[in-house]
Every structure is written in structure tokens, then in C-alpha cells.
Structure 1
Amino acid sequence: MNRVAKAPRLPEPPPPSEAVRLAEALIFCAPSPLTAADLAVRLPPGTDVPAVLAEIARAYAARGLTLARIAGGYAFRTAPDLAPVLRGGLPEPRKLSRAALETLAIVAYHQPVTRAEIEEIRGVTTSKGSLDLLLETGWVRLRGRRRTPGRPVTYGTTPAFLDHFGLDAVSDLPGLDELKGLGLIEGRLPAGFRVPQPGDEAQADEDPIADSLAPGDAAAD
């Protein structure tokens, strides 16, 4: 009588360390993405933060939540392949007008950009309401003032913008080939047409603006 050999029992994976458990809890409870520096302050001294993050990412790789790098920090997000299933049960988000969407795209790709530059790119006057709405959503901020006559205000995107669109940095915005692949750019393009490489670095001709400046001051430029 032949006996079927039993498969060797694989060892159980070691339980997560206290540092991993604590980091997991901190990220889960945080209202916004946490950076590695944020975690280092809260974790035991000497903790290898990159290794802890790698372990959390590995543990959640095949689960309903994944560890995502967003706006320079880390947060748990729904696994991308589950998004179509979950979307139907969520309330419809507030939709932006076409003018507001165009303005947001210009700010994202051309930042730092002034209101006059936005109007030049769009070819139409930009209403105060569109910029105020974007400021109120928290996706656009007042960056600074240009060192030019009139000292116009410059606009840029915020960490909340990156968080909402699942980006780690504005440089992760889709380029020309990706926009074509998404069907957002069709037909023949003018010679020399290009999508600007977005960035949020400070510019030499730009002075920082006080964070306390109210959204209503956007019209001051």
C-alpha cells in the first residue's frame, strides 16, 4: 500500500514587529498622508522607516487596501482594481464647470502661473468665481507674487490636489503620450505642440506670499 507523502508544512510568517504595527496604525488614523519624517518622530528610536514601509506595502499588496505614496507621504488607498466595484455606492462628487476644469489644468501644468497668463492660455477672461472655487476646494493655493510691475499673484496646486488625484508629485501628471492614450487629445496637433513639464519649485522671479492671505484677495492681481 502506497502512502501519499505529505507536503512539508511551510513555516508561519513572523508576526509584524511593534514598529510595523505602530506605523500601520499611524498611517491608518492620519487625516492626510504621512511622510517618512513624520513616522520617524513617532516610531521607536533607530527604526528603519523605509524597511517598515516596505513591509507594510508587501503585507497589503494583494489586499483590498494598498499603501500608496501620495503628495510625498504615505496613505492607505483602495486597491485600484476594486475601484469600479466601489464607485457605484459613493455619492456623486461636486462637478466643476468646464471653465474651472480648464483653469485647474492650466494651474497644474503651468504653475506658478498668474491670472493674466491663465487668460492668455485659455483665450478668454477667467472669472473670479472659477479661481475662488478652486481655492475653496483646497486644490489651488496662492503661491507668491511675481517681481514684475503690479506684483501679480501666482497660483499653484496643493497637497490636497495631489491626494485627490492619487499623485506623489505634480511631475507625475500625465504627459502628451499618456493624454493621447486616454483619449483626451485627439486629431493632428500644431507643429511644435508640447505638454509642459509641471513642477512646483520656487521660481527666481517669485516672492512667497503670506499663507494668511484670504481667498477673496485672489482678485487683487
Structure 2
Amino acid sequence: MGRRARQTDNLDTELTDLPPKLRWREWMGRVEAVIFAAPEPVPREVLARVVGRACNLDLIVDDIRDELRGRPYELVSVAGGWQHRTRKGFAEAIRAATGLGDQVRPLSQAESLILLCIAYYQPITRGELGRFFGQEVSRDLIGYLRRLGFIASGPRAPQPGAPYTYVTTNGFLSHFGFATLRDLPDMEMLEDAGLLSKDKLLAGDFPAGFGAGTTAGDGDDEGPERDELLSD
């Protein structure tokens, strides 16, 4: 007796009745449909529910990307999954037609500084951030980055009072276009090459992707100044 087709909620995932080319096209359609319908990046384990055991998801994604060449949107790998995104070259057209992005302001220098340090040194406490910069880091700044969904509370630190640490989130990875934290520029390599140091950070010299021009969804017209946010 032949192996029975794998079923997921009554969905035939193996598609053994179809010829190989049609089976592959069906798997491609399913994967793209799931990604298109999802509001967040879709991880591999979710996509695996709609394809057969022999399906190579990486090759499926490659074929979908090939078909999207020349289209105004693309399939990107971010935050541990895949997501459809419009290409950057069409941002102005989208803004002109819909107004989306009009209320988006850049992260201030202070916000970029703190976010960058959390990304590289997580889990890290507010006190440790303050010692890095030589002055106390405002709770308002931390709260703002939390509201943006870029950071969250991590494990309690093994210090007196067991303060909470802060870590970056999948929202951070998605916003900055990183698949995982391993995609961050290597800190030691940047330091060894003289491209990054504490002095450079304090001067606002960030690695690519973290500059003060990076946008954050908030309705304020202007970001807080560095000295305002690094003091209570």
C-alpha cells in the first residue's frame, strides 16, 4: 500500500495525484498566498503546513522571487520569516496616493543611540545603558522604544534589586530588515576596522541602517533631543 498523503486540517499537502510541475506550482501558490495574507513575517514552520514533506521551501521562495522581478513589491526575509513588501522606489508614489508615511518621523539621535546599544549588548539594563553614556537614560526614551515595538523586557539581571533587562523584538528585526540578530554588522569587526567606537556612537556615527534618518511610526513632529532623553 502506498504512503497516504499527509493531511493538515483536511488540506492535501503531498499532492501525489498531480504531476511534478503542477505540484510545484500549487505549492508556490499556497506559500505566496499565506505570506500575502499574513500581517507579520511568516516563519518556515507555518509555511511547512501547506506543502509536502519533500518540498524545499527555500527553492519555492527563490522561484516566487524570480516571478516578482520587475514588480513593485518583493518577497523579503525578515524577523525569522518571509513577508511581502513594496519596493522602496515606490515609497513616494504610495505617500502621494494614500498619505501613508506623512506622520512618520525619524528616530532622534538619542533614540537611535539607545536602540543600537540594546541591539548589540542585549540583554542590558537601563543602569548599564546609563553607565555606557555617562548619564542616566530617561524612562521616557525606553518607554517610547517599547511603544514602537522595537524593544521589550528581558530577563531580570543578576544584580541587587534584580532590575529588568531590555532586548530587541521581532518588530525591530522587521522594521530594520534583519532576518535575525546575526545579520547585525559584527561589532568587533567594526571596532577593529575603526568604524565604530563609543566616541563615534556618542557623536551620532551609526552603522548602516541605524542613522537618525531611520523612520519610526509616531505622530510627533520632532523627536526629543539627546540631552533631554538622557536625563531625568
Interval of TM-score (by shorter of Structure 1 and Structure 2): 0.5 to 0.7
SS at match of 1:76: strand
- Higher alpha-carbon deviation: 86-95 or 120-129: 86-95
CA change 1:179–1:84 in 2 (3 A) is farther
Give the TM-score, by structure 1 length. Answer: 0.66
Partner of 1:26 in structure 2?
Answer: 34
Matched, 1:121 2:132: yes
Shift of 1:65: 1.3
Matched, 1:35 2:43: yes
Partner of 2:86 in structure 1?
Answer: 78
Give the count of matched residue pairs.
174
Partner of 1:132 in structure 2?
Answer: 143
Q: Distance in 2 between matches of 1:174 and 1:62?
A: 29
Any gaps of 5 or more consecutive residues in structure 2? 1-20, 201-205, 208-232
Partner of 1:49 in structure 2?
Answer: 57
Letter in 1 for 2:133: R
Structure number with bigger Rg: 1
CA change 1:81–1:175 in 2 (3 A) is farther
Q: Distance in 2 between matches of 1:78 and 1:54?
A: 17
Q: Give me the identity figure in percent.
A: 32
SS at match of 1:130: helix
Shift of 1:167: 1.0
CA change 1:169–1:45 in 2 (3 A) is closer
Q: How big is the alpha-carbon RMSD for the aligned residues of Structure 1 and Structure 2?
A: 3.3
Any gaps of 5 or more consecutive residues in structure 1? 1-13, 190-194, 197-221
Report if the CA contact (8 A) 2:123-2:167 is conserved.
yes
Partner of 1:170 in structure 2?
Answer: 181
Q: Equivalences for 1:176-195 in 2 at 5 Å? A: none
Matched, 1:143 2:154: yes
Partner of 1:59 in structure 2?
Answer: 67
Which of 169, 187, 190 aligns to 1:158? It is 169
Give the TM-score, by structure 2 length. Answer: 0.63
Shift of 1:149: 2.5
**Structure ranking higher on relative contact order (CA contacts 8 Å, 6+ apart):** 2
